Structure 1
């Protein structure tokens, strides 16, 4: 059974703390655990080749899963000499977890709903209120505070969505902050959340900036 746009109702899940995948973005992953090697083998047999990236909820035992994740299509993979796989997931759409499904596989799977996230399957989002100059100035201070380096020319030339989503995925935020970035309804909301997180880091966490 499939939903609109041939998105399946059931997908395999890859719970990974701190990992963030967003629509149309690319996430490189290293697969080496036996259960996820089995998952990859099964996924590559499916026409959609989808894996649902989702975060465990911190501090809960046994670990529960966050309500929202993002499914990515395996668009590249290669095997290493020692049996690991290097894969790339390209984000397709966020999803809401409906219920986990028990089966005979060693990995998790779940029924999911795509209904809230139809916009994810369209073209790149725009952010009309984006003040790029002010954002890049804050980003520069954030990179200094975190001792990070980057290719500034590429950042300056990147489209709004690529810039905001790439930074959301790559910056070393806490898992709960990554989840907030994932669940931001629009690109503008994600940019505002990202700005808040960077500002908080630049201030050294000494002032509460989350409203």
Structure 2
């Protein structure tokens, strides 16, 4: 199945507004709620709603806090719910569509940043994973049990056992308190199984006492 009518990479726009926000990840077929209040991003949402409704979520990669460098890969989400508060904020929900590589940042007059996006590397994001290509739930659950025990976290184990595997992997990848570089590694994993393998490695790394903070 395809998402929101996007069947192939060519259906997606060449130019994309981007929202650099550390630690906030959206994956294909994963939702991200956002509370928008900065004027430049209110403007971005207005323009997206008037157009293709896509926003690229991307990790800052150092540099100036107001205009950080951008990671090389982000993920586009489509605005699928929208409301405005009495104090002028926008509450939106992004539904993840497809990851993209940043070809270049564009010189624009808008207050928000825009990039030229290359979708070709991640075109498979537009289709759901084949049932034969899903990760091992038991291996992930075992790593998670050790991780939550060490970090004294609470987990809904019924959800771990019953949630769709893609939902489970993406929820943990987005929700666990990993570093920005670690989250970027999860985003850039080639597919769902690769993301799950990287997730298990990070969970195991934390419980093994390894001080490393990135994946090679």
User: Normalized against structure 1, the TM-score is what?
Assistant: 0.90
Contact persistence 1:126–1:161 (CA under 8 A): no
RMSD: 2.1
Residue number in structure 2 paired with 1:166: 171
Between the aligned partners of 1:135 and 1:4, the Cα distance in structure 2 is 31
CA shift digits 1:93-141 (9 cap, x unpaired): 0001011112221000111111111100112354647332232122122
Structure 1 gaps of 5+ residues are none
Between the aligned partners of 1:11 and 1:130, the Cα distance in structure 2 is 31
Residue number in structure 2 paired with 1:193: 198
Between the aligned partners of 1:205 and 1:4, the Cα distance in structure 2 is 39
1:173 offset after TM fit, Å? 0.4
SS of structure 2 residue aligned to 1:77: strand
SS of structure 1 residue aligned to 2:61: coil
Match of 2:109 among 104, 107, 123: 104
Contact persistence 2:181–2:214 (CA under 8 A): no
1:209 offset after TM fit, Å? 9.7
Query: Are residues 64 and 42 of structure 1, via their aligned partners in 2, closer, same or farther at CA, if it must alter by over 3 Å?
Result: same
Matched, 1:82 2:100: no
1:203 offset after TM fit, Å? 2.0
Contact persistence 2:58–2:71 (CA under 8 A): yes
Between the aligned partners of 1:6 and 1:136, the Cα distance in structure 2 is 37
- How many corresponding residue pairs? 207
Match of 1:45 among 43, 50, 54: 50
SS of structure 2 residue aligned to 1:22: coil
Query: Are residues 32 and 135 of structure 1, via their aligned partners in 2, closer, same or farther at CA, if it must alter by over 3 Å?
Result: same
1:171 offset after TM fit, Å? 0.9
Query: Are residues 209 and 103 of structure 1, via their aligned partners in 2, closer, same or farther at CA, if it must alter by over 3 Å?
Result: closer
Between the aligned partners of 1:67 and 1:209, the Cα distance in structure 2 is 16
User: Normalized against structure 2, the TM-score is what?
Assistant: 0.88
Structure 2 gaps of 5+ residues are 1-7
1:38-77 matched pairs, under 5 angstroms: 38-46=43-51, 48-58=52-62, 60-61=63-64, 63-77=68-82
Query: Are residues 27 and 17 of structure 1, via their aligned partners in 2, closer, same or farther at CA, if it must alter by over 3 Å?
Result: same
CA shift digits 1:32-52 (9 cap, x unpaired): 111001111111101x20000
Matched, 1:12 2:17: yes
SS of structure 1 residue aligned to 2:17: strand
1:186 offset after TM fit, Å? 1.4
Contact persistence 1:70–1:92 (CA under 8 A): yes
Query: Are residues 125 and 173 of structure 1, via their aligned partners in 2, closer, same or farther at CA, if it must alter by over 3 Å?
Result: farther
Between the aligned partners of 1:126 and 1:109, the Cα distance in structure 2 is 36
